[in-house]
Each structure stands twice: as structure tokens, then as C-alpha cells.
Amino acid sequence: MSNRLFLTFTFLCCTGSLLAQRIVSDAKIVYKMELPPEQLQMDAMLEGSTFTQYMRGPLSRIDMNFNIVHYTYLINSKTESMTTLIDQHGNKYLIRAGKEQYNKDLQQYESIRFQDQPETKQVAGYECRRAIGTMPDGKTFEVYYAVDLVPENKQYNRRFVNLKGIPLEFEILTKTGSKTRVVAVKVELYPIPASYFDVPKTGYKEVSQKEIQNMQ
């Protein structure tokens, strides 16, 4: 093969790969949560819990619905802030985290390193590659990410700031050392209304992180 043909072939291969990837600005991804058996034994009402991720430019929203308690995280990577909403049996609390806490958490997540593995599989209609995430303390968790979906906002979910694509199946490490598996069941790529990311002005009691920990 001549040098010119070789260069043309290489260029086409690279271009094809780039064209296959889609930069995602707006999305809604619905996941099911497979909780550890011991957790379900303690509280059967947790079965059927869901995790929903919303994205819109620098804005992100995560809804974790455990049936008995609902957590919402509103993340703004532009202002470097996060608001946590908790709804437990109608008792509603709001916790704000400013730039200092936001960047402190981000530094922790930036320390997570992902190593690609040879395995691939289909999740929610997308080809996903397996990766192993290693945390600063040496603990590991598994991820399958869509190689063709790349988030425009890398901080939409800071846990995956170093991942090369959008995770459609992953593990969450719990405080007890067990793992919750989160698996995408639906991926929708459409403009998400800005109102989804508004911080409520009424209906929630604003508390500090320390106050909510004391309540628990």
C-alpha cells in the first residue's frame, strides 16, 4: 500500500470513529437499581427503586427514588454548586453546597481512575465497554459505558468525570461495603426543560449537612 493510500485509509478510519461518537448535551436516562439482598431483607419496600439522570448543558439532575425516601441532586457546573433535596414521608429538606464543598467533592472524584477491559455488551440498545473504576482508597467498582455517547458536560455526574463515555450500567459502593448495581432501561436524547433544574423556593426546610446527619 502506498503512503498516500495508507494515510487516506487511516484518515477515513479516524473520521469514521469520530462521526460515530455523539456529543450529548441534553438527555434523560432511566435506570433500575438492583439493591444488595441484605438491604432488601431489612426493608422490602426498597425493591423497585429507580435512578434517573437528567442533563442540560452545564445543568444536571439526579433523582434517586427508594420508595420510602426520595433524593434529588441539582448540580450546576457553571456556578459550581449543588443542591440536595430530601423527601421522606412528606418531610422535605433542602441542603446547599457552595463552590468550596463542590470543588472538594470534585477533587475526590477526579482521583478515580478507570481502566478499560476487553468485555463489551449491549445495554439499553447501546454498545458498552466494561471498565473498572479504582478509588483513592483502593476500592473498585464496575462500569459499562456507551462508547458512542460522550457527555458535553463532564461534571454532569462527577463520579464519572474521568470516564470516556456515558455509563449505562455501574456499581455504587455503599457504606457497608456492599454494591448496588444500576442498569439503564431507557435512554432519551431530547431537549430537557430548564424548569427541571430549578431549586424550589418553598416547600422545603433548609438545613445543613450536619443537621441532616444528626436527624438520621
156-172 pLDDT per residue, tens: 999 999 999 999 999 99
How many domains is the chain partitioned into structurally? 1
The Cα 116–Cα 131 span in angstroms is 4
Residue 162 inside a domain? The answer is yes
Residue 1 inside a domain? The answer is no
Residue 42 inside a domain? The answer is yes
Residue 13 inside a domain? The answer is no
Name every residue whose Cβ is closer than 8 Å to that of residue 90 and which is 6 or more positions away in sequence.
none
Specify the CATH number for the domain of residue 48. 2.50.20.10
Give yes or no for residue 10 having a pLDDT over 50: no
Residue 55 inside a domain? The answer is yes
Kindly report, residue by residue over 90-109, the tens digit of the pLDDT: 899 999 999 999 999 999 89
Q: What is the dihedral of CA 133, 108, 88, 67, to 10 degrees?
A: -10
Give yes or no for residue 189 having a pLDDT over 80: yes
In the prediction, which pLDDT does 46 show?
Answer: 77
The mean per-residue pLDDT over the stretch 22-35 comes to: 95
In the prediction, which pLDDT does 17 show?
Answer: 42
In the prediction, which pLDDT does 42 show?
Answer: 62
Residue 56 inside a domain? The answer is yes
In the prediction, which pLDDT does 5 show?
Answer: 39
Name every residue whose Cβ is closer than 8 Å to that of residue 168 and which is 6 or more positions away in sequence.
29, 123, 124, 126, 128, 144, 145, 146, 183, 184, 187
In terms of residue numbers, what domain contains 31? 23-215
Residue 10 inside a domain? The answer is no
Kindly report, residue by residue over 56-89, the tens digit of the pLDDT: 999 999 999 998 899 999 999 999 999 999 999 8
Residue 12 inside a domain? The answer is no
